[in-house]
């Protein structure tokens, strides 16, 4: 739990570092991330990257893979009924 204001600052500094290094967030080392804020742990890499981010969308109606697959299944069944 990091307050919004702090997380916004962390995100801005992380993006600025990536811009200066011409890399993506996933390319930053844990030490580089911790130089921005010591809150970062090893599990940060579980949240970075497109695939990992998409998998985290799990609320109803979200664009996460499981939710999309569920909606496709639902509509395929519903359309076959007609």
The CATH number for 19's domain is: 1.10.40.30
Cα separations (Å) of 54 from 5, 31, 41, 58?
24, 25, 20, 9
pLDDT by 10s per residue, the chain, length 82? 899 999 999 999 999 999 999 999 999 999 999 999 999 999 999 888 888 888 877 788 888 888 889 899 999 999 986 5
Q: What is the tally of structural domains in the chain?
A: 2
Same-domain status, 44 and 63? no
Same-domain status, 44 and 59? no
Q: What is the pTM of this model?
A: 0.66
- Which residue shows structure tokens 């919004």? 4
Same-domain status, 54 and 33? no
Query: Can you give the length of the chain in residues?
Result: 82
- Please name the residues in contact with 25: beta carbons below 8 A apart, sequence gap of 6 or more: 14, 15, 18, 48
**Domain extent at residue 69:** 50-82
Same-domain status, 12 and 23? yes
d(CA 52, CA 35): 23
Residue 58: helix, strand or coil by DSSP? coil
Same-domain status, 8 and 19? yes
């Amino acid at each position: 739990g990091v307050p919004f204001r702090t997380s916004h600052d962390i995100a801005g500094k992380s993006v600025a570092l990536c811009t200066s290094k011409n890399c993506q967030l996933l390319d930053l080392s844990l030490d580089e991330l911790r130089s921005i804020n010591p809150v970062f742990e090893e599990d940060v890499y579980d949240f970075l990257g497109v695939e990992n981010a998409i998998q985290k969308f799990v609320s109803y109606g979200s664009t996460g893979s499981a939710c999309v697959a569920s909606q496709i299944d639902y509509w395929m069944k519903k359309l076959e009924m007609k």
